[in-house]
Chains A and B, each alone.
Chain A
Amino acid sequence: MDYEVVIGLETHIEQNTKTKMFCSCKNEFGGAPNTNCCEVCTAMPGALPVINRQAVYNTIKAGLATNCEISKTFYFDRKGYFYPDLAKAYQISQLYVPICKNGKVEFEVNGKQYAIRLNRIHLEEDAGKLVHGLFGETLVDFNRGGVPLMEIVTEPDFRSVEQVMAYLDTIKNIFKAIGVSECRMERGQLRCDVNVSLRPFGSPNFGTRTEMKNLNSFKAIERAIKFEISRQTKILNSGGKIVQETLRWDDVVGQNYPMRSKEDSQDYRYFPDPDLLPITITDEEIKKIKNELPVLPAQLKSEYKKKYGFSDYDATQLSKNIEISKFFEECVKAGIEPREASNWIQGEISNILNEQVGEEIVIKLVPINFAKLIGLYKAGEISQASARQVLRKIWDSNEDPGEIVEKQGLKALSDDTEIRKIVEEIISKNPNAVNDYKSGNKKALAFFVGQTMKATQGKANAGIVNKIIIELLGE
């Protein structure tokens, strides 16, 4: 039997504020254990939390960027649980009145538009980091404890893995664009809990769901969901029942394992934190934050289509990542023709980025320098193949492209007589290909172009080469 997949997500995103959520300790990744800590974030008796205004504003910004309603008055609650990563034995979080609610995130999968409803975005503090030692002990580091953390909760609106991945890509790019987080997954700045259930197609009721916690790479999320769908399908098809439980994904083994049994099901005993009074945000404050919102990827996409006449596909490729769109705009500012810039970004630059390690996009190429290179190429001074070669040289060295061309002797061969000599030689050596060409085989032309390029190490001016071959073969 075929089942419909139903998925809901809880995504945690750490903010990039200067300081922590409830104290003025530095919010910084890494560092020696407990070096960014104080009485508040290590829960010394009597220490009191004070709310970071910027963290609240950032959350409002995130809500505005995802079409949420903003609560003008909200407060924080205590979520009780006993675990050594949480010194107070409760986490300051929001249950009853989150800062943002009823949002919507739109994205595309294979050209089809989808909208996922957000239940809420609430603000809380991150927990500390536990390192399990070799000698049956656990080391506790509270540097991460108290870092402002947003939890974005969707309704169970996803019907496929592809939708989940497209949504995650979209919110990652939105949160990066509005500047509230770098969303670096390998640093735990974006983490995901996934709820999966199956139901027969057409059924109005949801099936029993399982929850997978703390998935920390896009690849792991995708694999874990696929595994869970096939696991649940097998159970249901053999007449079994799904047990509602929390699962831990083991990315090495590629399997889910039960984490907590049901009898230990959590009792968080939420209640309003008496240390923190309710906060009221004014309309003026919300308006000011709204005005600070940058152009979001979706708006940028339609802007590019209108301004540059790009296709839907090209506009998407150039607008979805902040690093790419920033670079593209700098290229245009540096004088590169927009379509030329788009072709290079989606061509050789995309190749280089795909070769880089990690999920982050890092462009060190200096736009002005890149513009110089494109200038040389457009003027016919170097071939496209040489331009690609030079691009890789200047990618992170910022060397002068002109100097590289000079030093490596990459200057395009555009001397008619010289190219003519090379082509004549190739023609005389390949009578069969000449016959092919004369009997109308167009592929033979490509063969001669290829041979000429090979003979000139890719330096020949392609236009001139074509012209000469056609001229010589035409007789």
Chain B
Amino acid sequence: MISRADVENTAKLSRLEFSKEELDQIQVDMNSVISYMEILNKVNTSKVGDLVREIGEMREDEICPSVDPEELLKNAPKKEGTAFVVPKVID
């Protein structure tokens, strides 16, 4: 079960803000997703082997041209020179 606190915490971690009504609806939706997954959990898979096939590929360490900074920053709401500008953050 997804509690109201779970929903609020997830929203906070995602830096998203919701109205009370939205939070109500999200809690219902999340619980329905979880209960749908519960159906799959009921299937007996004790005789089914590992489905993960380890086929990860790696690339060689060779340089390819990077993207032109002008192009890269084209959609940035704010920039200074070739740097992205964001509101001040301090840790």
Q: Which residues of A contact B (CB under 8 A)?
A: 17-19, 24-26, 32-39, 42, 50-56, 73, 75, 80, 82-84, 130-133, 136-142, 248, 259-260, 267, 269, 276-280
A18–B89 touching, CB < 8 Å: no
Sampled A-B contacts (26; CB under 8 Å): A18-B62, A19-B64, A26-B66, A32-B82, A33-B82, A34-B72, A34-B83, A35-B66, A38-B64, A38-B72, A50-B57, A50-B59, A54-B60, A55-B61, A75-B56, A131-B83, A132-B88, A133-B85, A138-B87, A139-B83, A140-B84, A142-B84, A259-B91, A269-B13, A278-B52, A279-B56
Q: Which residues of A contact B64 (CB under 8 A)?
A: 19, 24-25, 38
- Please report the C-alpha to C-alpha distance between residue A137 and residue B84 in the assembled complex, in whole angstroms: 10
A37–B72 touching, CB < 8 Å: yes
- Please report the C-alpha to C-alpha distance between residue A428 and residue B79 in the assembled complex, in whole angstroms: 82
B61–A132 touching, CB < 8 Å: no
Give a binary string over B4-16; 1 marks a CB under 8 Å from any A CB, 0 the rest: 0000010001110
**B33 interface residue (CB < 8 Å to A):** no
A38-B67, A138-B87 known; 16 other A-B pairs, CB under 8 Å? A18-B63, A25-B64, A32-B82, A34-B84, A35-B66, A38-B64, A38-B72, A50-B57, A50-B58, A53-B59, A53-B61, A130-B89, A133-B88, A139-B84, A276-B56, A277-B57
Task: Please indicate which of the listed interface residues A52, A53, A138 has the most CB atoms of chain B within 10 Å of its own CB.
Answer: A138
Given the interface pairs A35-B82, A37-B72, the reply to whether A278 lies near B59 with Cβ below 8 Å is no
Of chain A, the residue at the smallest CB distance from B89 is A138
B80–A133 touching, CB < 8 Å: yes
Given the interface pairs A33-B82, A139-B83, the reply to whether A53 lies near B58 with Cβ below 8 Å is yes
Least Cβ–Cβ distance between A98 and chain B, in angstroms = 16
Given the interface pairs A139-B80, A277-B54, the reply to whether A37 lies near B88 with Cβ below 8 Å is no
Q: Which residues of A contact B1 (CB under 8 A)?
A: none
Q: Which residues of B contact A55 (CB under 8 A)?
A: 61
Q: Which residues of B contact A140 (CB under 8 A)?
A: 83-86
Task: Please indicate which of the listed interface residues A52, A55, A83, A260 has the most CB atoms of chain B within 10 Å of its own CB.
Answer: A52
**B81 interface residue (CB < 8 Å to A):** yes
Q: Which residues of B contact A33 (CB under 8 A)?
A: 69, 81-83
Least Cβ–Cβ distance between A24 and chain B, in angstroms = 4
Q: Which residues of A contact B91 (CB under 8 A)?
A: 83, 248, 259-260
Least Cβ–Cβ distance between A6 and chain B, in angstroms = 26
Of chain B, the residue at the smallest CB distance from A148 is B61
Q: Which residues of A contact B54 (CB under 8 A)?
A: 73, 277-280
Of chain B, the residue at the smallest CB distance from A246 is B91
**B51 interface residue (CB < 8 Å to A):** no
Least Cβ–Cβ distance between B7 and chain A, in angstroms = 14
- Please report the C-alpha to C-alpha distance between residue A37 and residue B64 in the assembled complex, in whole angstroms: 10
Q: Which residues of B contact A82 (CB under 8 A)?
A: 13-15
Of chain B, the residue at the smallest CB distance from A72 is B54
Partner of B13 from the list A24, A83, A259, A267 (CB cut-off 8 Å) is A267
**B73 interface residue (CB < 8 Å to A):** yes
Q: Which residues of A contact B69 (CB under 8 A)?
A: 32-35, 37
Closest 10 CB pairs of A and B: A277-B56, A54-B61, A24-B64, A53-B58, A33-B83, A139-B83, A140-B84, A279-B56, A51-B58, A84-B86
Q: Which residues of B contact A131 (CB under 8 A)?
A: 83
Q: Which residues of A contact B90 (CB under 8 A)?
A: 132
Partner of A19 from the list B15, B56, B61 (CB cut-off 8 Å) is B61
